[in-house]
Amino acid sequence: MNMNAVGASESAKPVFFDLEDKGHPDGHSTYLGFWIYLMSDCLIFAALFATFGVLGSSFAAGPAPKDLFDLNLVLLNTFMLLFSSITFGFAMISADRNQVTATRIWLAVTALFGLAFLGIELYEFHHLMELGATPQRSAFLSAFYALVGTHGLHVFFGLVWIIVLITQIGQHGLIGANRRRMMCLSMFWHFLDVVWIGVFTVVYLLGVIQ
């Protein structure tokens, strides 16, 4: 038998592909995309922490952390953010129980704690600038404002997200899409909490102790 003819007949056989849509778990792409975003945010904050680590002792004959920071005020601000994470946890519990009103209330309380955090941070920035501790005063202050300000900007956008989510839940209830949005926002908010613990320890606490 001609082997070439056999090979040609085999190659002529039609090839079938399985075109059936296998599907993915509901919200799979949303969660995956958000985890990728959080990893990119981790890189941003890692770079800012590294920058502060290099420039944090470059005072240019200007004020040092122990001359500027009020640990009592910063500790109060830290508790505002910690409490907001707790109240967000209550919002998630209420959502699991399908309690729309309670979920919206706990999200609103979370937003209030977040607003308090931002208010205290803006007061601190204003006070430091009145003392002449502006970003251009030294490399230390430039790194400080970049790191703390970037975190504060994330909190601001988180607050906008909370307000939008409260509105969406009020209009459509705890549908699957809103539950996914709450889960993503929960990861984002707790991520900011963890970053702030690092900021409090590295920037404020160690800065005052050294």
Helix (H, G, I), strand (E, B) or coil at 62: coil
Mean pLDDT of the chain: 90
Which residue, among 104, 109, 193, 117, has the nearest Cα to 156 in the 3D structure?
117
- Give 70's pLDDT tier (boundaries 50, 70, 90): very high
Structure tokens at 174: 């705890």
pLDDT digits over 172-190, tens only?
999 999 999 999 999 999 9
Record the tokens describing residue 150, joined without a space. 């970037």
81 lies in some domain: yes
* Residue 198 belongs to a domain: yes
157 within domain boundaries:
yes
Does 44 reside within a domain? no
- How distant, in Å, are the alpha carbons of 49, 76, 77 from that of 42? 10, 25, 22
Domain tally for the chain?
Answer: 1
- CATH code assigned at 117: 1.20.120.80
- Identify the residue with better confidence: 94 or 15: 94
**So what's the pLDDT on residue 174?**
96
* Domain presence at residue 71: yes
What is the per-residue burial (b if ≥16 Cβ within 10 Å, else e) of 69-99?
Answer: bebeebeebbebbebbbebbebbbebbeeee
CA–CA gap between residue 106 and residue 48 (Å, rounded)? 32
| Domain assignment of residue 101, yes or no | yes
Tell whether 118 is covered by a domain.
yes
Residue 6 has what pLDDT?
A: 47
Q: Cα dihedral angle (27, 29, 35, 38), rounded to 10 degrees?
A: -100
Tens digit of pLDDT for each residue in 107-145?
999 999 999 999 999 999 999 999 999 999 999 999 999
Q: What is the mean pLDDT of residues 185-199?
A: 97
Provide the residue range defining the domain that includes 85: 63-209
Whether pLDDT at 84 is above 70:
yes
Q: What predicted TM-score, i.e. pTM, was given to this entire model?
A: 0.85
Show Cβ contacts of residue 166 under 8 Å, excluding neighbours closer than 6 positions. 104, 107, 108, 111
Mean pLDDT, residues 93-106: 97
Q: Can you tell me the mean pLDDT for 151-167?
A: 97
Kindly report, residue by residue over 10-60, the tens digit of the pLDDT: 555 555 444 454 554 555 578 899 999 999 999 999 999 999 999 999 998
Which residue is it, tokens 């007949």?
Answer: 9
pLDDT score recorded for residue 29: 78
Helix axes 71-96, 176-199, angle to 10 degrees: 160
